[in-house]
Structure 1
Amino acid sequence: MAKASTIYFCQECGYESSKWMGQCPGCKQWNTFVEEKVTHTKGNSHKKIEKAEVSKLSAIELREDQRIHTQIKELDRVLGGGIVQGSLTLIGGDPGIGKSTLLLQVCKELTDQKKRILYISGEESLQQIKIRAKRIGTFENDLMLLCETNLDIIETVIKKENPEVVIIDSIQTMYNEAVSSAPGSVSQVRESTGVLMQIAKKLNISIFIVGHVTKEGVVAGPRVLEHMVDTVLYFEGDRHAAYRILRGVKNRFGSTNEIGVFEMVSTGLREVENPSEFMLNGKPKEASGSIVACSMEGTRPILIEIQALVCQTNFGIPRRTAAGTDFNRVNLLMAVLEKRLGLQLSNCDAYVNIAGGIKMTEPAVDLGIVMALVSSYKDRPIDEKTICFGEVGLSGEVRAVNMAEQRVLEAKKLGFETVILPAVCLSSVKEIAGIKLSGVQTVRDAIHLL
């Protein structure tokens, strides 16, 4: 007979305890335990143990077609070259950001390649999925649809249909009958993901699961969920804005530094193949406090416009605001300007913004923030054909950054004529015709170029 008991789970790491604790012994986080009702059933102690076979590494063969290409270049880039067969991928993001739309577009591209795709929805009816599919475009081949939340039924359908790719939308709506708690609870999410992982590995089927996020921006449910899957992708950006950024935070089959940029249009998500040109649209001319900087996301250089506004404060304590970059980093750079250049910024309000709503935390944008602040403080416009990049230290020195040549080539491609970069990076950049390189050693040298 089944026996119900109360177990406490840590939402961060999945640690189990028979009683509530303030601090988790596993991950040392506070106030993360939640109560769950668990039903224990007595299993057969005389089960037959299957014989396990050991394989040698040299005997394992890899096929060249191990990855499935979605024909969506931005997604393939983030995944490391395509969908790995037998992989389990988690996609998280804010409501309305475009997770289901992206996956339905993936289904369209794969069905056009005559792949067998199964789309399982626990949130929408078949008619609602049809409406979204008509908005995206015409499906040349049929897409298999299933509206179900019972994992036992889902597993039976997957084994019967034997698809190559399965979409689960979303994991918080799925439930396993072996677990007595409600769908979306810690134990249900963990057990459901475990079942899907076994299906993916045993049947060599690629599975995508959609995960809801909390107000902090992380996938709802236990943190162990991200450890169980092979790849974790996050959709970032304001759902009211046009752009979307797909970022890989975990990838067992590729780099976690790549990003994919999309634009939300009436027919779905459209790839932005040149994000730099997209981010610089509408850049003002002859305006002080504005400069273009270059940041690297994986192997891709992205040019961004950094804006700053410095004005006299009307309050006893000056106000500082940073949008798109680290607030504490802006305060640090302003302290460097006060100490090394003697600028009186302690009685000034300062506002720093990265245009386009994109978030950049790479240290290479330090020099751009510094020059934008000084340009606004002195009300001197910076030449619109000038670009800069470099990390700024506490002594006011401009330190080296990686992949300097790729940044310069991206600037030349978009028509920039002058590049201000760390002097130590000049040796790693080949002489490129049509663009002037100005190496600087300190912040003072960079300001003199204004």
Structure 2
Amino acid sequence: MVNYYFKLAWISIRKTPMLSSLMVLIIAIGIAITMITFTVSYMMSKHPIPEKADTLHLVYLSSWFSEQPYSEHQGKEEAPHRITYRDAVNITEANKRSDLVKSQTLIADHKALIRTPSQAKSEGKMQYMYATTNDFFDMFNVPFLFGTPWLDSADENGEFTVVISKALNDKLFNGENSVGKQLLMDQHSLTISGVLDSWNPTPKYFFYSSSAFKKPLDIYIPIKTKINHELYLSSSFSMYCGIAPENPSFQTILESECVWMFLWVELNNANDRQAYTSFLHDYDAQQKQLGRFPRDLPSYTRNVEEYLVREEVVPDNSKVAVWLASAFLIVCLLNCMSLMINKFHNKKGEIGLRRAVGASKQDIAIQFGCETALIGLLGGMLGLLLAQLGLKAAQNVFHFINASVMQMNSTLIIVTVVLAVLSSCLFGLWPIYRAMQVQPSSQLKSL
């Protein structure tokens, strides 16, 4: 019986192609704009590593002196989200002896001229890279295409080894397995230990919030290599200092109170957070005895979600845009409802005849409900196509942003079509109700 009603709905749509097409187009435009804005907002705000939501933590140490500047957020004093080299050494050594910490990693950056041995120096390119530890790759679930992370000995001794991204491997080595080959960094020769597979966490939570929606960097070296060999480029070295060193050499920075390294820890389970925070408070007390950490603000940690919220990675205007797009969709649906009322009004004679030969009000409601759902389905499918085209255009315009932010996953594709059908049916209730009230006698007289 339902097939029969959908057949009638299709016949009705074909009888009024202009009016039906206009309704489909109105729904499609409203759905497309809504889903474009919702997709971007949803992909920006989703948790980038949900399986470790409660165990990954960024360490905040209240190491700055009282005269140093500090940030305020909602009236609360904040500790810096990066740490000094001195604290990095102390905390990481203590973490190795702790039963609370599963793994840990330090992250900094470096910039150097990168090329292959076969390239001339003029063909090299200045590139930023991560200086980190081999635990980075396991902590953040980084997939490998070829090879593995560097060995523990590279972290301990500061060896010249490197992991590169798939994109850089495709560019420099034509996508071949480059493990064991050399990569030149300024005058240093690095041995490639691994090549990453495609990996674009969105948002990129483990580094600067300003680059949260950009692709990860293409090169990873041991942080001990950076420190041991003083890989330091002052023009691109990012740090915060209350009082900048008079002679900003790399050695003076290591000995200073300047903060420039991220410290992430992965706890064994979520319940260990309080115990680890207590450990940080004990470290505060030790440093106070040494004349450091003069503030009353204790050290603490933030998990990934807390860090993203604190850094306001997802801007408020993206949420406002979703509400505005939803309001536009409602306007489109109201216009569509008006067209449906007009269309069903012109079918009063047909309704009266059907009622006269025995059709109930329920039969009329099902017939026009099927037609409304079919219009919504067509509008949803067209809207999905328009949304995909819109997101593709946005990728081309905002090419510097991670493309995954502007891509629908399977869930959003289904939501697009379902939303179109449900919203069409909802706003079709009033036209359907009015069609059900048509009296057969008054319509038959006019035939």
Bigger share in helix = 2
Structure with higher Rg: it is 2
Bigger share in strand = 1
Q: TM-score, normalised by structure 1?
A: 0.22
